Structure 1
Amino acid sequence: MTHEHHLQAWQESQELAEAMQPLIGRLYRQQGIEITVYGRPLQNASTIDILKAHRVVRRHEGQPLAIQHCFPLLKALCELAPSAAEIDLGKLAVGYWRDHSDESGIVDYLAAKLAPALGQGALPAPTDVVLYGFGRIGRLLARLLIERTGAANALRLRAIVVRGGREGDLEKRASLLRRDSVHGSFNGSIEVDLERSAIIANGTFIQVIYAKQPSDIDYTAYGIDRALIVDNTGVWRDELGLSEHLKARGAAKVLLTAPGKGEMKNVVFGVNHDVITPQDNIISAASCTTNAITPVLKVMQDRYGIRHGHVETVHSYTNDQNLIDNYHSGERRGRSAVLNMVMTSTGAAKAVAKALPELKGKLTGNAIRVPTPNVSLAIINLSLEQGTDRESLNAYLQQASLSSSLHRQIDFSASTELVSSDMVGSRFAGIVDSQATIAEEDHCVLYVWYDNEFGYSCQVVRVMEKMAGVIRQDLPA
């Protein structure tokens, strides 16, 4: 191809990506349909991101997916008007064009593949959400909830609760939502309503409530009722402490974004989210590390069986460490986080057993905090019941990332140039670095990257939807 041909092909693809954007937005806002391409979400994606998502298909199919093959299927989707589903447009397109040479059979093909999402009737009323605490996870959850605005939105962010209330506090909170040193600028517009003590983000009115204790709040005074309270503070970790939230008028359920203590259900979405029942009022979404490693451990247990193993996490420093040497109640954590690698403990290996009981007593774990602000790496050293080799193991993990029930949790990379900053903003719980895989007979070492902030927040939102009673079809099956 000549230079002109390359440029023309690019411009044609770019124009189609631009034409896809309003269709994708309309499907989400009106029908509750989330469009992906081999797991890459297209909602609110730029034209370049849409094109890059199509190129990811090469990793699984050996060649990229032409956007020209996806566009007619997307138009037909809008005409069929499915509802309440996550639809992988890439998988549909690859499947269709494998057996067809023109567009004449698209509608019938989609009607058959998407039958469970057709004719479902009205979508359920949205659930009010309150973010109790507005730190790293709280602000990322706010971004994720705000990007899901529309008539079909199942979770509606209504308020945040923080301590303080000093002069200038509201503007500071808004500024921290607007600008993030790791995740970049907020995608949209943010205003501050001083008179009503609120932040308005992309049209979402977020009441800012100042309170010292959960039980002091009357949410109904703000028009909030039967709310799901997402506790991001980590102050209360057991059911007794978290039950204080349920004493507030207008509160119905509580989700903890940290490992729960005692008999509380610790949920890793994709692995054991089916344990959530409508009667459950207090749930934990476990930890970022537990969410990253448990899906991979589950697929390994299912296929090879795990005799025992050790998990070493190389974890970015967190807000509970000191920037410079100073007093800290925790061992070693008083030393400067930005100047040292700091050995510490992790409960993630033991916590896996709460979501995956068959691994109880089989795993040990440790952690090293390192001077990076985000993205961590789990090194999983396993002794297996069945032998394997590197090529077979990677092929299995790649297939699990594409077509297993955990395809939203597990990503797979074949890049030889992958580094931690490449995973910032990943919506997967963990990313298998296949180039680092070691496997020989009954022993293997897996390297799993994870955005310990954003990837974890995506898992939390999935648990929130489950607690709110959202049933979203995953198509094509």
Structure 2
Amino acid sequence: MIMVIYRLLRMRRANCIVGCALDLVLTLPDQGLVITHSRMSQENRKRPGDSHPDQKPSKKSVNMAKVGINGFGRIGRLVLRAAVMKGGCTVVAVNDPFLDVEYMAYLFKYDSTHGRFDGTVETKEGQLIINGNSVAVYALRNPTEIPWGKHGADYVVESTGIFTTTEKASAHLKGGAKKVIISAPSADAPMFVMGVNQKTYDPASMHVVSNASCTTNCLAPLAKVINDNFGIVEGLMTTIHAYTATQKTVDGPSGKKWRDGRGACQNIIPATTGAAKAVGKVIPALNGKLTGMAFRVPTPDVSVVDLTVRLEKPASYDEIKATMKAASESPDLKNYIGYTEDQVVSMDFRSDTRSSIFDAGAGLALSPNFVKLVAWYDNEFGYSCRVVDLITYMASVA
């Protein structure tokens, strides 16, 4: 009997698709034996503060959006992981002038923060093969030369951190792309945060858009719920932010911002951020009401927003908690906002797919009109999931 069960488990595992949950329960009443086998992907793993059923990955369809990725760094690789896991779009081409295909496969397969990729990664004839699906690979410096159209990549994720204006990112359109999604804030491209303002996207006139920053993706949903229910007079935000690849491992030169050049693993570094001001772009009612700063801290992933606001409408902290919990369970926000009363710390949210997880136990109120609110976010993977969600949404209204 044990051997039969083992073979069933092996068969079930062999036929799975990456991103699915595997569950097998065998009940043998006569022997009083119940055997359960369960393996869950990152998308379906229970997270602190989950207050809703996990969203299941979308099924692949003939209408799935085809995506190209320019820049295979932290975000580029995690966007590919998120696309494989979530469904809704499929990556058909990747460009990075600094990586050969073998090194791409290695970096995609092994990740020191998020773990080994839960699937197959191979190379063949200069292409990446992910779970048996081919991804074309290019190493071109000029975006106009990347043949996105050859592979049907209508949507291109611009994740180099270089081409962040509408003019520069539009170069991808010359290679056959129809839409460009900048995975960073942009000075002039329309900015979207899922769960907040994606419905203002106009497919007829907007060909280059920004997915904003990871911090704006955490702050904006929180600010929206608070402003909609209590009104925000003004506020200050601080993000305690994990270090990123742009920082130095040891002290080094850093242009005009000298503190940015200090060792990331040794220091808490005050830094600037436009995340709070950017909320005014996605929520016009808050334009000019928020500003903020950052502290870069010696952790590799997961950051936290500290939002201190003055409210128009008096509210107890319990009322605010109830409002945030309701938002985390609402159809429009449940995939983007989380709620927890657990005694959590930052790494409890590693690989969390949500944008903003409200920590009910970490905030406090000085008065009914003056409160401090705290929300966690995986600044890498959660953000990458939003890039995929934005593409999926854009394709659905094209």
| Alignment TM class, shorter chain as reference | 0.7 to 0.9
Q: Give, in angstroms, the shift of residue 278 of structure 1.
A: 2.0
CA distance in 1, matches of 2:230, 2:329: 19
Q: Give, in angstroms, the shift of residue 380 of structure 1.
A: 0.3
Specify whether residues 450 and 364 from structure 1 end up closer, same or farther in structure 2 by C-alpha distance, changes over 3 A only.
Answer: same
CA distance in 1, matches of 2:218, 2:293: 15
CA distance in 2, matches of 1:338, 1:414: 30
Residue 333 (1) aligns with residue 260 (2): yes
- 2:92 alignment partner, SS class: strand
Q: Give, in angstroms, the shift of residue 126 of structure 1.
A: 2.4
Specify whether residues 358 and 199 from structure 1 end up closer, same or farther in structure 2 by C-alpha distance, changes over 3 A only.
Answer: same
Structure 1 match to 2:107: 176
- 1:299-333 per-position Cα deviation (integer Å, ceiling 9, x unaligned): 00010000000000100011111110111125111
Specify whether residues 383 and 403 from structure 1 end up closer, same or farther in structure 2 by C-alpha distance, changes over 3 A only.
Answer: same
Give the alignment partner of residue 247 of structure 2, picking from 311, 316, 321: 321
- 1:143-193 per-position Cα deviation (integer Å, ceiling 9, x unaligned): 112235xxxx5412111001136xxx3221111001000000000111111
Give the alignment partner of residue 345 of structure 1, picking from 255, 263, 272: 272
Q: Which runs of 5+ in 2 are unaligned?
A: 1-5, 24-37
Identity of aligned residues (%): 34
Specify whether residues 398 and 330 from structure 1 end up closer, same or farther in structure 2 by C-alpha distance, changes over 3 A only.
Answer: farther
Give the alignment partner of residue 377 of structure 2, picking from 422, 439, 450: 450
Question: What is the aligned length?
Answer: 369
- 2:305 alignment partner, SS class: strand
CA distance in 1, matches of 2:348, 2:46: 16
1:163 is aligned with what amino acid? P
Structure 1 match to 2:192: 267
Q: Give, in angstroms, the shift of residue 201 of structure 1.
A: 1.2
- 2:281 alignment partner, SS class: helix
Q: Say what the alpha-carbon RMSD is for the aligned residues.
A: 3.0
CA distance in 2, matches of 1:285, 1:190: 28
Structure 2 match to 1:202: 131
Q: Give, in angstroms, the shift of residue 49 of structure 1.
A: 4.3
- Could you list the runs of 4 or more consecutive aligned residues of structure 1 that deviate by over 6 angstroms after TM superposition? 52-59
Contact 2:21 2:44 in 1 (8 A): no
Q: What does residue range 249-260 of structure 1 map to in structure 2 within 5 Å?
A: 250-260=176-186
Contact 1:146 1:204 in 2 (8 A): no
Contact 2:49 2:342 in 1 (8 A): no
TM (norm. structure 2) is 0.85
CA distance in 1, matches of 2:21, 2:154: 26
Give the alignment partner of residue 292 of structure 1, picking from 218, 229, 232: 218
- 1:435 alignment partner, SS class: coil
Q: What does residue range 383-402 of structure 1 map to in structure 2 within 5 Å?
A: 383-402=310-329
2:361 is aligned with what amino acid? Q
- 1:378 alignment partner, SS class: strand
Q: Which runs of 5+ in 1 are unaligned?
A: 1-14, 30-41, 66-85, 89-121, 472-477
Structure 1 match to 2:388: 461
Contact 1:157 1:204 in 2 (8 A): no
1:43 is aligned with what amino acid? C
Structure 1 match to 2:121: 190
- 1:19-62 per-position Cα deviation (integer Å, ceiling 9, x unaligned): xx89xx79xx9xxxxxxxxxxxx834672549x9798899759x
CA distance in 1, matches of 2:217, 2:118: 26
CA distance in 2, matches of 1:345, 1:58: 30
Q: What does residue range 10-409 of structure 1 map to in structure 2 within 5 Å?
A: 43-44=20-21, 47=38, 49=40, 125-148=63-86, 154-164=88-98, 169-193=100-124, 196-220=125-149, 223-225=150-152, 227-248=154-175, 250-262=176-188, 264-279=189-204, 280-331=206-257, 332-403=259-330, 405-409=332-336
2:328 is aligned with what amino acid? S
CA distance in 2, matches of 1:160, 1:275: 29
- 1:134 alignment partner, SS class: coil
- 1:215-235 per-position Cα deviation (integer Å, ceiling 9, x unaligned): 122334xx4125211100110
CA distance in 2, matches of 1:54, 1:87: 11
- 1:352 alignment partner, SS class: helix
2:115 is aligned with what amino acid? G
TM (norm. structure 1) is 0.72
- 1:265 alignment partner, SS class: coil
Contact 1:300 1:306 in 2 (8 A): yes
Structure 2 match to 1:420: 346
2:290 is aligned with what amino acid? L
CA distance in 1, matches of 2:299, 2:129: 32
CA distance in 2, matches of 1:358, 1:289: 19
- 1:251 alignment partner, SS class: coil
Q: More helix per residue: 1 or 2? A: 1
